[in-house]
Structure 1
Amino acid sequence: MTQTTVSAGTTARIVWDTADKFLRNVVEPQEYGDYILPFTVLRRLECLLADTKPEVIEFVRDLGELPPHLIDVAVKDRFKLSFYNVSDLDLATIASVDDNVEKSLMSYIAGFSNNIADIWTAFEIPKLVAKLASANRLHAVVKHFSTLPLGAKQVSDTAMGDIFEDVMYRAFDKKGKGAGAFYTPRDAIKLMVDVLFAADEDSLVGESTLRSIYDPTAGSAGMLLVAQAALRDLNPDIKVTLFGQELMPSAYALGKADLLIQGGRPDAIRMGDTLIKDEYEGQTFDYVLSNPPFGGDWGVQEAEVRKQAKVDGSRFSHGLPSKSDGQMLFLAHCASKLTPAGKQGHGGRAAVVSNASPLFTSDKGPNAIRQWLFDEDLIDAVIALPTQMFYGTGIATYVWILDTNKDAERKGKIQLIDGSGQWEPMRKAMGDKRRYISETKRETILRAYQAFDHADPAISRVMTPEDFQFLDVPVYKQARLATAVTDEAIDELLQRRDFTDAHAEVLRSFDGLPWNSLASHYPQVAKEAGLKTPLAQIDAVVKAVGLPDESAPPAVDRKGAAVIAEGWKITERVALSEDLDEHMQHEVLPFAPDAQWDERGAKAGNEIPFTRLFYVPEEPRDLAEIDADVKRVMGELAVMFEAVSGE
């Protein structure tokens, strides 16, 4: 293959389809990506280093026995390279002969600088190479990749990122939907980035501007790289520092490689479980982006998370969600990593993806975490994305925009933006991803965010935290009861050991008398007759003979408490932004004039009922139109029956 410029899509197909031919019947299809990704990275790194490699080799040899980290510093200072290779070999040289291919390839890989050695470890290169060698396919694979035009002149950094996206998606797709959680589509990232930077555009100008970006679930570093590119588009002179953490080895290796390819630091992304250990503990950042796993069980991390939660003011001290879904742990973590508001007005902003669960899950932990976010005024906006946006799931998803220093007009307010309708169909589905947010649709959402109070109410609502906090107030109707001593009631009471025929005779004398006086008068009369009336019997008696009667006065029990009408106790949810009594006057009493409520028994909670707030009921069809359709259909049926009968 000649070294000519090709499109990213074409190159991705070459990388995948051709390699597929060499791997078939050697490894399982779901493992293709485990081989293709590391060889693609290896070839890209090789191409980037090709022009300076002879000089670098000579330079490093002249340095003698310096420690590896000092050699790294010297090479970076001289050649402006964050990584290098000092082996005399390359893929083409190794492929030129078919002897000792495995040994030569491992020697070549060992020639890379020490600061990227963990990339090959994470990719498990020795194991992959050994398997290909044992199947007599290693030479063919090396020869194939040695011909791919993946140099900077042929494929830009952005295009290379697209290649990685294509190859990684295909690899994940063969492994199943679950693996797709490790990659976020670029169109979703671009929307997150646009909104994230929208409030800071004025502060991003100037030659000495510095910004940090962090992703605790970095995957293949797509969010970090897209955000960095967007900042540089806004200000070419801006200094951007990237930080990431990733648990999955292959995603970590690809992310680190992609960061290096685009001039990043070798330690910009670190490997590890963010919930167990924050690799950047004590640091905060200007921008945080994250797409944590949806509904991920955190049982493995439970012991460490609960230990951290006991420390006041720690990232998990505000509440713990159900063990079956750790999304809100990541949301709380992201909030804790934001730079606090500064004296000059700058603070930290975050964009975090979630499914619908963190909006309204009513467990104690999620309620507490949301309440903390409300109390600290950290929620700037929540944006509903279109469904079928992600590779591994078609469910509804949302982006939480957090801010430690909101603009004055946004303080104490939360904007909800319904972007669920802002999508275009994909020409070809990629797993569950059948829709994408085009630049035009992205601009519509961004304009709504920027317009704030003046945005189109069809897709935007500006609320206060109190609108999302509520009291669940017990509402009941007080019973009205008359005394009806029926044979059925007597038979029921005679089932009790403490109720006799003598008690029944006394009770019959109360038939038709006011029910409210029964609890006090019945025991008095029974006592005069020499009968005992324990409290349990009194309660059973008044219950058995109470008959609903709307003409009777409101019923009270022997303690003077209101008796609730059977089957009529409900819970009314009242937002804290509303006056309780006014709410009841308008929403309850017109439909139940006798209703009463107990504010002391109310339970506090919170939720963001996104779907309900944007729900637009469909108007029912006009009855005349329905009648006309029915007549038309009946007429058609009559004609059909007549035709059948005629036969």
Structure 2
Amino acid sequence: MSLNTQTLQPIINFIWTVADDVLINKFLENQYQDVILPMTVLRRLDLALEATKDNVLKTHEAFRDKIDNLSGLLTSEQHGTGLAFYNTSQFTMKKLLADPKNIDSNFLDYLNGFSENVQDIISKFKFRNQLETFESTGITFSLIEKFCNPKVELSPDKISPMAMGYMFEDLIRRFNEKTNAAAGRHFTPREIIELMTHLVYLPVKDKIQQGTFLVYDPCAGSGAMLTQSKLFATNPEGEIKSKATFHLYGQENTGEMYATCKSDMLLKNEDPDKIKFGSTLSEYGFDPDLKFNFMLTNPPYGTTWKQDIENLNVGTAKKISIVDKRFNLPIKNFKGELEETCLTSRSNDGQLMFMLHMLSKMKDPKDGGSRIASVHNGSALFTGDAGSSESGIRQYILENDLLECIIQLPNDMFYNTGITTYIWLLTNVKEAHRKGKVQLINASSEEFYQRMRKNLGDKRVQFNPEHIQTIQEMYFSFEENEYSKIFDNEDFGFFQITVHQPEKDENGEKIIDSKDKPRSDSSLRDIENVPMKDSIPEYFKKEVLPFAPDAWYDKTKMKVGYEIPFSKYFYQYEPLRSLDDIASDILQLESETDGLLKEIVE
């Protein structure tokens, strides 16, 4: 399953030069990818259809006047492509080069010959918008000739979807760097996908040998998580060797990535209709009652979902109130009573909303339940005070015992960000020894990665197979050590209380209100987070009253909060240097510089 990305660099480099050789002065730099990416996909589809071209043309000619819908015949093994798509044009990309004079009209005929599912891909790339510029600048022949060069080896027989996804992401990364554009998403390195698939499937290895399973990615990107997770589970040479049927479902709201994902599903003979276009949060493309066995994703973080909020029909600007059962869930108040609560994160970061969406798509434990792997930044662990939606989402997850493990990844693992990231593993069918528990694994130190010989954007480090093996062994052993800690769910919960101190007059006397109680001084008001396992009165007596003897708190206005301060649990204190050591160093420096000032002055 490992991918040698170095072997792909010559192909990526050649495709990259097409922009400078053909598109320069014809398109703006920020438009290059609007040509290069769809041309790469089209050439890949073209090569996949090459062997069956004559068969398709023969079938089309024989039956086009006799049958209204030829799709079934043209995709069949006997009469067509044996794939889920076809092209009825007489042209292939290579054949287009034989008639340079008419290449523009012939190229349009070629595009129009593709089946409807490929037309959707062409449409999402908005590729036809480029044809007028191709013709007016006279670059159509040169462009097609470049992509037919043997150096651009894009055949699906030789370049897997995993490799293709990597190539696309590397090209997009380069385009974004060239134009100083933010990528807007974090493409997932293949070794992280490998770790995620291992941790999702291996714990239930014996339960997925036969049957039918549904795999889902709500932020599908190029589709790599879907295709590679299926490959891991079904690979006859792999660790699981499942003979079960796996159906792949995904949704993506970026046109170019949706088109890329759908094209690779076609090439893998997966059902392209199981890949939907649109925003998962407000335009979910599948039956609301459809549930999935496995879900893997890397949702956008630090990215606005304001448009989704508007599309979901919300209340006032001050109070978001979405009428959607995915985001309205029961959580306990400080009295321990369940209350239906609208859980909607800040509009500038929707990552936890994707988490709630996936939780709503889990199968019932009676039907085998579900397993989820999702990548997040640190914000998902601790952002949001007690009573906030972010805290409420963590509360719902932990109080329902859905969180199994969180793994901190090394920094600089992603192509376009160096921030700290974490893999969350969730399930509603925990093993007995994990019930009520959460495992935290710190895989961020040098023991768990290798520095890359050459950086790829911001990506400077990578996992090797032995690193992945070490991490999964820690997960399976479920034991505490320097890198693995185990907690009870409630260890992450706390009650937030407001500490009041009396307001006093100029004589130092307490000011009494109309109810004969001391008036609270707002300038002395403070907040205390009391660990859920502690007694609030005992905590108050021990941690507050010794410093503020006349303080009090309102027992009717407490809030429940949950956070996972990951770094705190793995913090290692490094003692300060002793004064003797510091003095010794100073004396050493003085001896080394003795006479230096005298030399300068003289």
Give SS of 1:447's match: helix
Q: Is the 8 A contact 2:186 2:416 kept in 1?
A: no
Q: CA deviation at 1:580?
A: 3.0
Q: Which residue does the alignment assign to 2:204? A: 200
Q: Which residue does the alignment assign to 1:529? A: none
2:492 to 468, 485, 504: 468
Q: CA deviation at 1:570?
A: 3.8
Give SS of 1:294's match: coil
| Identity in percent | 31
Tell me, in whole angstroms, the C-alpha distance in 2 between the residues paired with 1:38 and 1:242: 23
Deviates more, 1:60-69 or 1:87-96: 60-69
Q: CA deviation at 1:55?
A: 1.3
Q: Which residue does the alignment assign to 1:432? A: 458
Q: CA deviation at 1:31?
A: 2.1
Q: CA deviation at 1:12?
A: 1.8
Q: Which residue does the alignment assign to 1:390? A: 414
Amino acid across the alignment from 1:198: L
2:373 to 342, 351, 361: 351
Tell me, in whole angstroms, the C-alpha distance in 2 between the residues paired with 1:68 and 1:403: 47
Q: Which residue does the alignment assign to 2:336? A: none
Q: Is the 8 A contact 1:470 1:576 kept in 2?
A: yes
Change (3 A) 1:196 1:16: same
Change (3 A) 1:7 1:603: closer
Instruction: Describe the superposition over 1:411-466 as per-residue Cα deviations: whole angstroms up to 9, x where unpaired.
Output: 222222222223322222222222223322222222221122x142x222222221
Tell me, in whole angstroms, the C-alpha distance in 1 between the residues paired with 2:35 and 2:324: 46
Give SS of 2:306's match: coil
Q: CA deviation at 1:140?
A: 0.7
Q: Which residue does the alignment assign to 1:319? A: 343
Show structure 1 runs of 5+ residues with no match: 1-5, 479-538, 548-554
Amino acid across the alignment from 2:285: E
Q: CA deviation at 1:563?
A: 7.8
Change (3 A) 1:257 1:613: same
Give SS of 1:218's match: coil
Q: Which residue does the alignment assign to 1:527? A: none
1:627 to 560, 583, 589: 583
Q: Which residue does the alignment assign to 1:370? A: 394
Q: Which residue does the alignment assign to 1:219? A: 221
Aligned residues: 565
Tell me, in whole angstroms, the C-alpha distance in 1 between the residues paired with 2:228 and 2:12: 19
Amino acid across the alignment from 1:16: W
Change (3 A) 1:563 1:125: closer
Q: Is the 8 A contact 1:60 1:71 kept in 2?
A: no
Q: Which residue does the alignment assign to 1:248? A: 254
Q: CA deviation at 1:282?
A: 1.9
Tell me, in whole angstroms, the C-alpha distance in 2 between the residues paired with 1:67 and 1:471: 70
Q: Which residue does the alignment assign to 2:102? A: 100
Instruction: Describe the superposition over 1:541-594 as per-residue Cα deviations: whole angstroms up to 9, x where unpaired.
Output: x722228xxxxxxx79586646889976543322112233454566556x6494
1:598 to 539, 553, 556: 553
Change (3 A) 1:69 1:368: farther
TM-score, normalised on structure 1? 0.81
Tell me, in whole angstroms, the C-alpha distance in 2 between the residues paired with 1:173 and 1:466: 44
Amino acid across the alignment from 1:53: K
Q: Is the 8 A contact 1:177 1:391 kept in 2?
A: no
Q: Which residue does the alignment assign to 2:168? A: 164
Alpha-carbon RMSD: 2.8
Q: Which residue does the alignment assign to 1:32? A: 32
Change (3 A) 1:414 1:440: same
1:361 to 362, 366, 383: 383
Tell me, in whole angstroms, the C-alpha distance in 2 between the residues paired with 1:315 and 1:67: 48
Change (3 A) 1:220 1:566: closer
Counterpart check, 1:179 vs 2:183: yes
Counterpart check, 1:442 vs 2:468: yes
Q: Which residue does the alignment assign to 2:354? A: 330
- Structure-to-structure mapping, 1:83-162, within 5 angstroms: 83-148=85-150, 149-162=153-166
Show structure 2 runs of 5+ residues with no match: 1-5, 316-320, 330-341
Q: Is the 8 A contact 1:358 1:366 kept in 2?
A: yes
Q: Which residue does the alignment assign to 2:437? A: 413
Give SS of 2:455's match: strand
Deviates more, 1:173-182 or 1:29-38: 173-182
Tell me, in whole angstroms, the C-alpha distance in 2 between the residues paired with 1:595 and 1:399: 46
Q: Which residue does the alignment assign to 2:507? A: 545
Change (3 A) 1:360 1:59: same
TM-score, normalised on structure 2? 0.86
Give SS of 2:178's match: helix
Give SS of 1:633's match: helix
Tell me, in whole angstroms, the C-alpha distance in 2 between the residues paired with 1:443 and 1:595: 57
Change (3 A) 1:574 1:73: farther
Q: CA deviation at 1:54?
A: 0.8
Q: Is the 8 A contact 1:449 1:455 kept in 2?
A: no
* Larger Rg belongs to: 1
Give SS of 2:177's match: helix
Q: Is the 8 A contact 1:352 1:400 kept in 2?
A: yes
Q: CA deviation at 1:367?
A: 2.2
Instruction: Describe the superposition over 1:100-125 as per-residue Cα deviations: whole angstroms up to 9, x where unpaired.
Output: 11110111121122222101111122
Q: CA deviation at 1:643?
A: 3.2
Instruction: Describe the superposition over 1:154-201 as per-residue Cα deviations: whole angstroms up to 9, x where unpaired.
Output: 434443343333333323433445225163222222222222223212
Q: Which residue does the alignment assign to 2:333? A: none
Q: Is the 8 A contact 1:316 1:329 kept in 2?
A: no
Tell me, in whole angstroms, the C-alpha distance in 2 between the residues paired with 1:121 and 1:257: 12
Amino acid across the alignment from 2:505: K
Q: Which residue does the alignment assign to 1:513? A: none
- Structure-to-structure mapping, 1:15-30, within 5 angstroms: 15-30=15-30
Instruction: Describe the superposition over 1:374-399 as per-residue Cα deviations: whole angstroms up to 9, x where unpaired.
Output: 22222222222222222232222222
Change (3 A) 1:77 1:152: closer
Q: Is the 8 A contact 1:355 1:395 kept in 2?
A: yes
Amino acid across the alignment from 2:398: F
Tell me, in whole angstroms, the C-alpha distance in 2 between the residues paired with 1:103 and 1:594: 88
Give SS of 1:212's match: strand
Tell me, in whole angstroms, the C-alpha distance in 2 between the residues paired with 1:272 and 1:312: 17
Q: Is the 8 A contact 1:355 1:397 kept in 2?
A: yes
Tell me, in whole angstroms, the C-alpha distance in 1 between the residues paired with 2:552 and 2:154: 71
Deviates more, 1:302-311 or 1:185-194: 302-311
Tell me, in whole angstroms, the C-alpha distance in 1 between the residues paired with 2:322 and 2:520: 42
Counterpart check, 1:275 vs 2:281: yes
Tell me, in whole angstroms, the C-alpha distance in 2 between the residues paired with 1:357 and 1:69: 51
Counterpart check, 1:265 vs 2:277: no
Tell me, in whole angstroms, the C-alpha distance in 2 between the residues paired with 1:229 and 1:175: 35
Amino acid across the alignment from 1:447: E
Tell me, in whole angstroms, the C-alpha distance in 2 between the residues paired with 1:68 and 1:627: 93
Q: CA deviation at 1:217?
A: 1.1
